[in-house]
């Protein structure tokens, strides 16, 4: 089933996180919900998607988040609408992100680059 294009990047990111935690889920069931709820407010749809994958979702402003390896992985929205999973960070302030649509390819950004690109 084809997913509403607005939600596909979010779904890809949430699936990465659900797999990280080895949660039992049905991606197809989430896609059905997206198509059924596509006229609802975006925040409501995203929260329902997360719940169906066994995850919780909390909205936090980019400036309020102190990156900590214990809080990873995180789903983040970048300026320009890109969605990515922040999955690792090192002692030098570099973070590893997986952008939706990149097929699992990881991109390394400095903490400053990440901060300037996150949607506020």
pLDDT bracket for residue 15 (50, 70, 90): very high
What pTM value is reported for the model? Answer: 0.91
Mean pLDDT, residues 15-19 taken together? 96
16 pLDDT exceeds 70? Answer: yes
Is-contact 38 74, C-beta < 8 A? Answer: no
| % of the chain beyond a pLDDT of 70 | 97
Query: How are strands ordered across the β-sheet holding 83-89?
Result: 74-77, 83-89, 94-99, 106-110
pLDDT bracket for residue 18 (50, 70, 90): very high
Q: Which residue has the higher pLDDT, 8 or 65?
A: 8
Mean pLDDT, residues 87-115 taken together? 93
Q: CA 18 to CA 23: how far, in whole Å?
A: 5
């Amino acid at each position: 089933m084809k997913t509403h294009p607005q939600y596909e990047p979010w779904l890809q990111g949430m699936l990465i996180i659900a797999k990280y935690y080895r949660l039992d889920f049905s991606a197809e069931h989430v896609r059905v919900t997206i198509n059924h709820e596509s006229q609802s407010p975006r925040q409501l749809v995203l929260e329902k998607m997360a719940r169906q994958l066994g995850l919780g979702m909390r909205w936090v402003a980019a400036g309020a988040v102190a990156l900590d390896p214990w809080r990873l992985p995180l789903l983040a929205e970048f300026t320009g609408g890109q969605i990515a999973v922040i999955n690792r960070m090192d002692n030098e302030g570099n973070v590893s992100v997986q952008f939706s649509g990149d097929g699992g390819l990881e991109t390394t950004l400095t903490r400053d680059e990440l901060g300037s690109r996150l949607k506020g």
